[in-house]
């Protein structure tokens, strides 16, 4: 069990390069994760932590036209007493991105609607995740959310096509703003939309809400 000490406030930025697409992988064991768009760089990050061994590890590699950015909480970090652990990340809105978040315990708030998304994958552990995709996407993309133990909320734009599937675990799945057709949930716009978001939600133990409005 880790014990917290003085809180460290640390910033880290990754500059844009010539990569034509970037995979962003976030791995947090326990804490609070906030992700937004709006960075003029590839990423602007601010970290607060009071367990020195939990200093976030940021790596960026680029080969050819593809970049790989990872932000990771060091292994073995699973809570403790008087622990303060928070990431505030801002990502670039222009570079096409695949965003993958692997969450342990805690709270995640991911406002990704302004990003140039290629795909999104969120794997929840214990806690709450809020994934807001409301925006004006320029291309089709796929979203996969795997629920853990807790509460997941996915907010979708209503002026693009939506085709969603939701499979329950032990818990509730609530869908608002979409029509059920067979084993899919769709919106009226999907038949004529220039852009369609394909969402696949797999419930765990807890509550999942899909909201399109």
Per-residue H/E/C for the chain: CEECCCCEEEEEEECCCCCCEEEEEEEEEEEEEEEEEEECCCEEEEEEECCHHHCCEEEEEEECCEEEEEEECCCCCCCEECCCEEEEEEEECCCCEEEEEEEEEEEEEEECCCCCEEEEEEECCEEEEEEECCCCCCCCEEEEEECCEEEEEEEECCCCEEEEEEECCEEEEEEECCEEECCEEECHHHHCCCCEEEEEEECCEEEEEEEEC
- Report the pLDDT averaged over residues 18-34: 96
Calpha distance 199→209 (Å, rounded): 12
pLDDT value at residue 191: 80
- Report the pLDDT averaged over residues 63-89: 84
Q: Residue 88: pLDDT above 60?
A: yes
Calpha distance 202→192 (Å, rounded): 27
For tokens 């000490």, what's the residue? 5
67 shares a domain with 150: no
Q: What is the pTM for the complete model shown? A: 0.94
97 shares a domain with 185: no
Residue 73: Cβ within 10 Å count: 26
pLDDT value at residue 135: 94
107 shares a domain with 11: yes
Query: Final residue of a domain: which of 119, 139, 154?
Result: 119
Of residues 189 and 123, more confidence is placed in: 123
76 shares a domain with 60: yes
pLDDT value at residue 2: 62
14 shares a domain with 68: yes
Question: What domain range is 166 assigned to?
Answer: 124-213
What would you measure as the largest C-alpha separation in the chain, in angstroms?
56
Query: Final residue of a domain: which of 66, 90, 119?
Result: 119
Q: Residue 3: pLDDT above 90?
A: no
199 within 8 A of 165, measured Cβ to Cβ: yes
52 phi and psi, to 5 degrees?
A: -55, -35
Q: Residue 29: pLDDT above 80?
A: yes
190 phi and psi, to 5 degrees?
A: -65, -25
Calpha distance 113→42 (Å, rounded): 16
- Mean pLDDT (the chain) is 91
pLDDT tens digits for 9-24? 999 999 999 999 999 9
157 shares a domain with 53: no
Of residues 190 and 178, more confidence is placed in: 178
91 shares a domain with 148: no
* Radius of gyration of the CA atoms of the chain, in A: 18
Query: What total number of domains does the chain contain?
Result: 2
156 shares a domain with 183: yes
55 within 8 A of 2, measured Cβ to Cβ: no
pLDDT tens digits for 96-155? 999 999 999 999 999 999 999 999 999 998 999 999 999 999 899 999 999 788 888 999
184 shares a domain with 100: no
pLDDT value at residue 16: 96
């Amino acid at each position: 069990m880790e014990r917290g000490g003085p809180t460290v406030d640390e910033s880290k930025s990754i500059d844009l390069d010539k990569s034509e697409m970037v995979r962003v992988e976030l791995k947090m064991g326990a804490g609070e994760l906030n992700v937004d768009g709006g960075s003029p760089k590839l990423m602007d990050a601010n970290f607060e932590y009071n367990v020195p061994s939990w200093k976030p590890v940021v790596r960026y590699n680029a080969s050819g036209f593809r970049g790989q950015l990872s932000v990771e909480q060091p292994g073995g970090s699973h809570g403790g007493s008087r622990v303060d652990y928070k990431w505030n990340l801002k990502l670039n809105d222009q570079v096409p991105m695949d965003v993958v978040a692997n969450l342990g315990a805690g709270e995640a708030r991911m406002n990704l609607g302004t990003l140039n998304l290629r795909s999104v994958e969120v794997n929840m552990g214990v806690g709450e995740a809020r994934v807001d995709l409301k925006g004006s996407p320029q291309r089709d993309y796929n979203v996969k959310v795997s629920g853990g133990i807790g509460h997941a909320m996915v907010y979708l734009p209503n002026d693009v096509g939506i085709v969603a599937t939701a499979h329950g675990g032990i818990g509730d799945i609530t869908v608002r703003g979409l029509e059920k057709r067979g084993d899919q949930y769709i919106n009226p716009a999907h038949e004529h939309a220039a852009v369609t978001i394909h969402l696949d939600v797999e419930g765990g133990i807890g509550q999942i809400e899909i909201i399109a409005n």
